[in-house]
Structure 1
């Protein structure tokens, strides 16, 4: 099936959303029992973490950890936002730099200034968007970023979105009086789909949409270790306690270029596989045997794939053993744990 489809459904009693492009699942959001990224707390400072430059905080959902803060004392209230999912047994990662993010606008308390996404190149469009921003942003101390989804969107919708985010930010940003409390819940999968998947798409929100579009079969495949690539190649993706191990194999292909072909196919699909499986942290790729002169081509293909990925990932480099190391943000929970 050609085109983009957004399927909104429930899996194992949990809200879920899937983005399909030309019949292939490109992204997936699944509700969890843990605090979702974007959740905002009024947290209470407990104690500093020596040598880490941060503080432990008390929240209604348990202990949290915030980095790069100064001048805080135990018992003080602080408004913070969840940035990702914690590893088992660790504190919730939060930041004091709170953002109020919607489909068209991001309001930034304590970071004044009006900005338009660099992806919008048309100067007339940028000027028109800045005019809207100047008309709506009437609060001191708040900044605004207009997202790339504003391009071609209805101006009234953009203005309403900015006003809604500004009103929300005004109410929450200074709410530091009282005990630990959840001030705003993070967005669920259906709202995330509306917020992040902004390109034109068909929406299927009727019951059973995942089954109709084959998403359930894809979920079953994502629970498996092995991923088939072009030809006879494959890669095995195995999360361990310390890292995510990726092993690229040529299969029965014994041609001279088998290693290079397998590695290129693997790095092009790897960001999508990690995204759908909800895997982050340290990622180590054991590439198929190939000449050192091919590393630049493999690295270029990987960097291009990561640039298109919505999850922040850093290419660390090649190890002496010829492995590739990545550091990936943990903004999702592993799919295997979410569905059990």
Structure 2
């Protein structure tokens, strides 16, 4: 994990087996809102949309949908959905948590289904249920974690046991819970004494989130070009894990840290519109406001025993790379992949199986919907923030962002 710190920008790159798999950036003046708690004031209730707008002190009012006002446990919700005007009124103060960043012309989306992520669990103070990550596959371990969660939670509390809690000691998980309970009490105390709109609690910095959500303490290492950030990372690790083994290195080389680790070269290749596969094939990614389209081409690859074999191998290479690029670019929303046509159904299923397998490594929720009638593969990925590329790009002034030069404007 490579972290490049500048006065106004922090960038993070995650490398697995020599390949760049995640990249994120955060400006000091525009820190992520997702996960932060606000005390807001309802400024408008819209019966026709079953939603309300809440002033949380940002440039745009936050959007609060009726489902995010009801109890977080489905079994505790009424059979008939109540009207939003029966739940909220203009001028009412409410504590909300940001679940989606402002995107384009839309303000942030907020919820009253509160959650505080820790190292081993996600604490939901009012959810009243226990769940275990779907990525924990062993039934015996799932049952152990479920029983542990039921034993350590108080009445009305909710817990999600994260994937990293697998085989973890009960004392560590309970310690994580106590820390998160303390955070929640602090948020509640601040809400009682604060005047809306105001910030009650901000989620961790990009470096701390990286350590909390991604790090394998036994096998990973962290390189940071800032001594201050490196020391803060070590302190956070000590607090979170009571003596972690993750090596934290302060980089002091003569060239920029991203250049030294080959990150810049990979970023230039992986954020291009056309990405060449190692096999010689290629994939082209085009993003619109509503969805992303991915086109797969054989290119120079002709290595199969037959046309069907060549096509299938190219699609398999592409599926693996597409999963990595979606995660790396943090692409969200609807994604349509135009794989090269395959005649045999077993080959189509093989491509889907590989894509699903590769996407399980993604921390953001993904779902492969299936093949459309036109032979396109449809998938979705939860959209929480603007795509990473937005931070480092802008629309072309000549073509207006459509990727084609407007010759009329040149006369």
Equivalent position of 1:99 in the other structure: 115
Between Structure 1 and Structure 2, how many residues are aligned?
333
Question: Which of 286, 289, 292 is matched with 1:241 structurally?
Answer: 289
Is 2:70 the partner of 1:55? Answer: no
CA distance in 2, matches of 1:109, 1:37: 18
Determine which structure has greater relative contact order: mean sequence separation of CA pairs < 8 Å that are 6+ residues apart, divided by chain length: 1
Closer/same/farther in 2, CA of residues 112 and 235 from structure 1, 3 Å limit: same
Equivalent position of 1:180 in the other structure: 197
Q: Trace 1:199-278 onto structure 2 (pairs within 5 A).
A: 199=216, 200=218, 201-205=220-224, 206-207=250-251, 208-254=256-302, 255-256=306-307, 257-278=309-330
Is 2:361 the partner of 1:308? Answer: yes
Alpha-carbon offset, residue 115 of structure 1? 5.1
Greater share of residues in helix: 2
| Counterpart contact for 1:38–1:82, Cα < 8 Å | yes
Contiguous gaps of at least 5 residues in structure 1: 1-5
The alignment partner of 2:12 has SS state of strand
Normalising by structure 1, report the TM-score. 0.85
CA distance in 2, matches of 1:213, 1:92: 35
CA distance in 1, matches of 2:280, 2:31: 39
Q: Looking at CA atoms only, which structure, 1 or 2, has the larger radius of gyration?
A: 2
| Counterpart contact for 2:371–2:378, Cα < 8 Å | yes
Alpha-carbon offset, residue 285 of structure 1? 1.2
Greater share of residues in strand: 1
Contiguous gaps of at least 5 residues in structure 2: 70-83, 225-249, 394-411
Alpha-carbon offset, residue 97 of structure 1? 0.6
Q: Trace 1:99-178 onto structure 2 (pairs within 5 A).
A: 99-114=115-130, 117=133, 119=136, 121=138, 134=151, 137=153, 140-151=155-166, 153=168, 157-173=172-188, 175=191, 178=195
Closer/same/farther in 2, CA of residues 318 and 52 from structure 1, 3 Å limit: farther
Computed over aligned residues only, the root mean square deviation of the Cα atoms, in angstroms, reads: 2.9
Alpha-carbon offset, residue 109 of structure 1? 1.5
Closer/same/farther in 2, CA of residues 115 and 281 from structure 1, 3 Å limit: closer
Question: Which of 349, 353, 360 is matched with 1:296 structurally?
Answer: 349
